[in-house]
Amino acid sequence: MHLRCTCMRGNGMKEYQPASIEPKWQVAWNENSVFDSDVDENKPKFYCLEMFPYPSGKMHMGHVRNYSIGDSMARFRRLAGYNVLYPMGYDSFGLPAENAARKIGGHPHDVTWSNIESIRTDLNRMGFSYDWRRELATSNSTYYHWNQWIFLKFYEMGLVVRRTAPTNWCDSCDTVLANEQVKNNRCWRCADEVRQKYFPSWWLKMTNYADELLDELDNIEFPENVKAMQRNWIGRSHGADICFSVIESDEIIKVFTTRPDTIFGVTFVTLAPEHTLCETLVTGTEYEADYRELADECARMSEFDRINMLKEKKGVFLGRYATNPLTGKELPIYAGNFVVGSYGTGAVMAVPGHDQRDHDFAKKYDIQIVQVLSEEEGKEPKVTGRAFEGLGWMVNSGQPRFDGLYGEEAKSAIIEELKSKGMGGGTTQYRLKDWLLSRQRFWGTPIPFIHCNECGMIPVPENDLPIELPLEVVFTEGESGNPLASHEGFVNTNCPKCGSPAKRETDTMDTFYDSSWYFLRFTDAQNQSAPFNKSKADYWMENGVDLYIGGIEHAVMHLLYARFFTKALRDAGLNDVSEPFSRLVCQGMVNAPTPYCTECNVEHHVDLDGQQCPLCDNKLGSRSAKMSKSLGNTVSPEIMIEKYGADTVRLFILFGANPEAGMEWSDSAIDSNFKQMNSIYGALIQAIEIAEDPSLKSNSSGEKWLLARARLNSKNWAEYMTNVSLRDGVMLSHFEMLSDWQWAQRRGEISCDGAMQFLKIWVPMLYPTTPHLAEEIWELMGNNLMLAQTNMDMDSEKDDGDRIILSREEYLRKVIDRARSVRELAERHTEGELSKVIIQTAQEWKINLATSAISMLQDGFDFKEGGNKFLHTQPCFQNEDIRAEVMQYWRSIVIGQKKRRGRIYTWGMRENDLISGELEEVSFLKENSQFIADALGVPIVDVYQAGDGEDIAGKARNSIPLEPGIAWQ
RNA sequence: GCAGGGAUACCCGAGCUGGUCAAAGGGGCCGGACUUAAGCUCCGGUGCUAAUCGCUUCGUGGGUUCAAAUCCCACUCCCUGCACCA
């Protein structure tokens, strides 16, 4: 496949050859270390980061998209004079490498390393501008050493706990999982069902930070849906703990409720089946058998279809009663399958009048339903057959001082009452759990603890770190379990405290631990004596990573862990910053067409393209779906780079959709982007040829316009880029700028100076997204310093005269457009060939009226009130021949018709300038009559002010300022 | 059920701090120029009408306004996440 533009326009045009340009500049950048950056207090910093890749194979299109966005932003910020930190690394611990090693009989280290090599090669071929000195891989002991060090710090801070508790166990992955890693009761990685298992595990007390994690969301720029997911996940709810004492027993049932205001409507109490009190109450009674049945069913729950389980509310009476602390009323105690043991206190007070679940339950088991809130102030509650769950006015409390209280007031009153009786109080519950950190697998950071029979669990002394993973381990297929546990050399050690023989902890850390602070390590990646130097971290991390780009799939997991970590490390005194990422951009999916059956709503492998659905025999259609190996609809970046070059792939990716939107892979679209690159290249070469010819000295209005346009585009472009609106930016840099150049070419000669000025504006705009092409042209322009080393002033104010130049040209284009739009009709109404265009500009009196009206409007004149009066004083109004026209015109500029407002309101500043003297329409059009004639393909263009010549087709009447009457003959 | 985001012309997609919006840009399609021809490239067209007017259109229905794709209300459908969370 050759990277050759087969079209040859102009003379001596060079070909666009990315295959030679791209490696050339990649080498040049590399040799000059232009992307290395260090702390520099004199420059504003910009930390641009992408979620680093998990090296599971080659680079895929998702990576290409992610990093093309980041690289453009990094390059743009460098160009704008920022000190940019833009690093790359590999999240290289984890199960897939271990499984792969098991399959091929090697060591995960080797598998991981060869994948890293491959990805690094691909990254370089795309021309991404990383500071490679900072490259890191989390599976290197130089990195995980500090994982362990931090873990010990957390231990000292009391953030690490080891406890035996119910955990989520995945059989297929052979390990426990954190709460965040379980989706719909399935493992996030392998989708196997998760079951509960009692297990001694290591936890990080993330819940200590629940409030800060939640509240700080308001101050960071994350997409709304990510914030919503995190809020949801943390799940803070304010409410009350209320104690119900069990009758004929010392036991107390503590419940959590968000609705203490409904306490007078409690008619029973429900415990989670796994609640310890159930056993105590029921053992040895006639109710025991029923209870056991329910409890067993719930314990097996994960094996059942979740949907079925959700439908049926079940419970059993436990044979005992509790008392309502405020009324003393006796309430039956039930165990119910819908009460979650791990949330709140694992017990709920049931208010069937005001909670639909309790209502259903009460109906089913024939329990009393009491309404204690009214929807309307001062009225009795309505009987509806459903629970009223909204806030309401308290009634039927039996204690008059509560009746009539509403909402929050009612809640606080109850809470106060409970407090005073010592039976409860206000409290806050979270859905967020502590982070279950330990994994029973090999390929992760060993947890630096030692089990000693004498001394118990002892942290490894800091000086003994890192505890390295042994390399002499062989993985074989079909063998499960953690090879660390059976590795004598690893496991056996001595107690650091008493010296007696002891065993090492063989659990390793969740790989999300690794990625929870890598952005801090990047600020000082080579540090051998600490995770990172504080002042370096504080410099680069001030206000957090400025732009963090990655997939939405980490909305809860990685992004929450990293936020927690940054706060915990801050409290450990390692850094000042509290929020790791100040702005998050989640790039959309890269989709591609895949066969799809509308009947079955199933996507199929591309091998079935054009065939019948294997499930229902219908003919398969096509639909867009996320690129995936299983559907086979992937496109290899390598092949595309080889075919079109990295710059075209980048252009396609960035132009295809704005970063957050999903995008569609399309062979024809990338092809047309390649054409675009060729056109741009052709235009650039042409511009350089002009720039090199000093005999070209024209100073045409086309040239002035081109430069004014370029200044405007460049300014807008910088704004778009700053906002990460890359698609809009690319639209200007790679599309508008080219078509402006082409328009200017048609408008007249460009001088050598003009061409050079244009290039100086355009080429830097091309640089962030298609850097190789830009560098190549920049060099041809005679620059010694590479663009990669160049800073640009991005806030250059545009020339004041630009506005006029641009609006004059816009006027010209509008006139031509209008002429075109009436041409077809004119043809129908005219016999023979059209040979002439007659343009009649507005009469002088129209211009005068418009000018007056504009300035009167600026002075706040009320046209409805005094418009006619003013008109009557005007000289043109005195002429009876045109009085009707004058009135009609006046109305159209100061009042307007139906949907269209009067022109004086719709004319902008530009138009006002033109009308009030910046544009002599007749002379301007006359100057450009040859161009207009060419554009319209007509030999003669006649221009005069209405009245100065014959009124062709009655157009004089239609003419208004800036909208001349146009007729064809 | 709760939360977040959507629905715009043949398709993708911008606009959505109300008027300059028949609605950017791209793709597709149609026509023209160039070419022996196809391709490439360039120019023009692509709601209906119409010598520049006008009419209808931005998920459905209603409302506010002199004026609504844009603001408000209700509804329908789609995507995403969480979910017997008390």
Tens digit of each residue's pLDDT (9 = 90 or more) over A637-671: 888 898 889 999 998 888 877 788 777 777 777 88
The span from the CA of A139 to the CA of A484, in Å, is 16
Asked if residues A262 and A372 have their Cβ atoms less than 8 Å apart, the reply is yes
Query: What backbone torsions phi and psi does residue A273 show, to the nearest 5 degrees?
Result: -60, -30
Q: pLDDT at position A413, please?
A: 93
- Give Cα separations from A226 to A726, A768, A789 (angstroms): 21, 28, 36
Instruction: Find which nucleotide's C1' atom is closest to A357's CA.
Output: B84
pLDDT(A13) > 70: no
pLDDT(A4) > 70: no
Question: What's the Å distance between residue A923 CA and nucleotide B7 C1'?
Answer: 50
What's the average model confidence in pLDDT over A755-765? 92
Q: pLDDT at position A7, please?
A: 36
pLDDT(A309) > 70: no
Report the half-sphere exposure of A476 (CA within 13 A, side-chain side). Answer: 1
Which residue is closest, via its CA, to the C1' of B20? A906
Question: What's the Å distance between residue A820 CA and nucleotide B44 C1'?
Answer: 9
What's the average model confidence in pLDDT over A759-778? 93
What's the average model confidence in pLDDT over A948-965? 83
* Residue-wise pLDDT tens digits, A388-427: 888 889 998 888 889 999 888 999 999 999 999 999 999 9
Instruction: Find which nucleotide's C1' atom is closest to A349's CA.
Output: B86
Question: What's the Å distance between residue A286 CA and nucleotide B65 C1'?
Answer: 73
Instruction: Find which nucleotide's C1' atom is closest to A735's CA.
Output: B25
Most confident of A12-26, A288-302, A766-780: A766-780
pLDDT(A863) > 90: no
Which residue is closest, via its CA, to the C1' of B34? A9
DSSP annotation of A41: T
pLDDT(A330) > 70: yes
Question: What's the Å distance between residue A623 CA and nucleotide B78 C1'?
Answer: 15
Burial class of A499 by CB neighbour count within 10 A (0 to 12, 13 to 18, 19+): exposed
Question: What's the Å distance between residue A686 CA and nucleotide B80 C1'?
Answer: 48
A221 beta partners: A583
Say which residue, A138 or A6, is predicted with more confidence: A138
Question: What's the Å distance between residue A825 CA and nucleotide B29 C1'?
Answer: 23
Within A614-751, residue ranges assigned H as helices are 637-644, 646-656, 667-691, 701-722, 726-730, 737-747
Q: pLDDT at position A699, please?
A: 73
Residue with tokens 């009987």: A383
The span from the CA of A244 to the CA of A320, in Å, is 12
The span from the CA of A551 to the CA of A532, in Å, is 27
* Residue-wise pLDDT tens digits, A116-160: 999 999 999 999 999 999 999 999 999 999 999 999 999 999 999
The span from the CA of A79 to the CA of A37, in Å, is 14
What's the average model confidence in pLDDT over A287-301? 83
Question: What's the Å distance between residue A222 CA and nucleotide B6 C1'?
Answer: 19
Burial class of A47 by CB neighbour count within 10 A (0 to 12, 13 to 18, 19+): buried
- Give Cα separations from A416 to A372, A402, A624, A762, A918 (angstroms): 18, 12, 58, 70, 76
Instruction: Find which nucleotide's C1' atom is closest to A826's CA.
Output: B51
Question: What's the Å distance between residue A726 CA and nucleotide B6 C1'?
Answer: 21
Count of residues in chain A = 969
- What burial letters (b/e) apply to A399-409, b meaning 16+ CB within 10 Å? eeebbebeeee
pLDDT(A299) > 80: no
Share of chain A above pLDDT 90, in %: 42
pLDDT(A723) > 70: yes
Instruction: Find which nucleotide's C1' atom is closest to A588's CA.
Output: B80
Asked if residues A137 and A112 have their Cβ atoms less than 8 Å apart, the reply is yes
The span from the CA of A955 to the CA of A965, in Å, is 5
Instruction: Find which nucleotide's C1' atom is closest to A338's CA.
Output: B84
The string of DSSP letters for A62-84 reads HHHHHHHHHHHHHHHHHHTT-EE
Nearest to A93 by CA among A478, A477, A512: A512
Q: What is the mean pLDDT of chain A?
A: 86
Asked if residues A319 and A279 have their Cβ atoms less than 8 Å apart, the reply is no
Residue A716 pLDDT level (bands cut at 50, 70, 90): confident
pLDDT(A942) > 80: yes
Pairing between β-strand A136-137 and β-strand A89-90 as defined by DSSP bridges: parallel
Q: Which nucleotides of B are covered by protein (CB under 7 A)?
A: 2-5, 12-14, 19-20, 22, 24-28, 39-45, 50-55, 66-67, 80-86
Which residue is closest, via its CA, to the C1' of B82? A232
Q: pLDDT at position A269, please?
A: 95
A504-508, A535-539, A927-931: lowest mean pLDDT where? Answer: A927-931
pLDDT(A740) > 60: yes
Q: Dmax of chain A from CA atoms?
A: 119
Q: pLDDT at position A303, please?
A: 46
Burial class of A380 by CB neighbour count within 10 A (0 to 12, 13 to 18, 19+): exposed
pLDDT(A546) > 70: yes
Question: What's the Å distance between residue A880 CA and nucleotide B38 C1'?
Answer: 65
Residue A728 pLDDT level (bands cut at 50, 70, 90): confident
Instruction: Find which nucleotide's C1' atom is closest to A655's CA.
Output: B26
* Residue-wise pLDDT tens digits, A350-395: 999 999 889 989 988 999 999 999 888 888 888 878 888 888 899 9
Q: pLDDT at position A800, please?
A: 65
Which residue is closest, via its CA, to the C1' of B14? A728
Instruction: Find which nucleotide's C1' atom is closest to A900's CA.
Output: B19
Q: pLDDT at position A759, please?
A: 92
Instruction: Find which nucleotide's C1' atom is closest to A270's CA.
Output: B86
Q: pLDDT at position A70, please?
A: 93
DSSP annotation of A810: H
**Residue A105: alpha-carbon gap to chain centroid:** 40
* Residue-wise pLDDT tens digits, A76-129: 999 999 999 999 999 999 988 888 888 888 899 999 999 999 999 999 999 999
Q: pLDDT at position A421, please?
A: 93
What are chain A's domains?
32-146+513-586 (3.40.50.620), 147-209+443-512 (no CATH), 237-429 (3.90.740.10), 667-803 (1.10.730.10), 812-968 (no CATH)
Which residue is closest, via its CA, to the C1' of B11? A664
Question: What's the Å distance between residue A670 CA and nucleotide B27 C1'?
Answer: 11
Question: What's the Å distance between residue A243 CA and nucleotide B46 C1'?
Answer: 73
Q: A99 — alpha (psi -120 to 50), left (phi > 0) or beta? A: alpha
Question: What's the Å distance between residue A716 CA and nucleotide B23 C1'?
Answer: 22
* H or E stretch at A538: helix A534-541
* Residue-wise pLDDT tens digits, A228-287: 899 999 999 999 999 999 999 899 999 999 999 999 999 999 999 889 899 999 989 999
Q: pLDDT at position A8, please?
A: 36
Question: What's the Å distance between residue A937 CA and nucleotide B34 C1'?
Answer: 16
Residue A491 pLDDT level (bands cut at 50, 70, 90): very high
Neighbouring CB atoms inside 10 A of A495's CB total 18
Instruction: Find which nucleotide's C1' atom is closest to A258's CA.
Output: B86
Most confident of A429-433, A493-497, A566-570: A566-570
pLDDT(A12) > 60: no
Residue A929 pLDDT level (bands cut at 50, 70, 90): confident
A36's tokens: 């290395």
pLDDT(A924) > 80: yes
Q: pLDDT at position A161, please?
A: 93
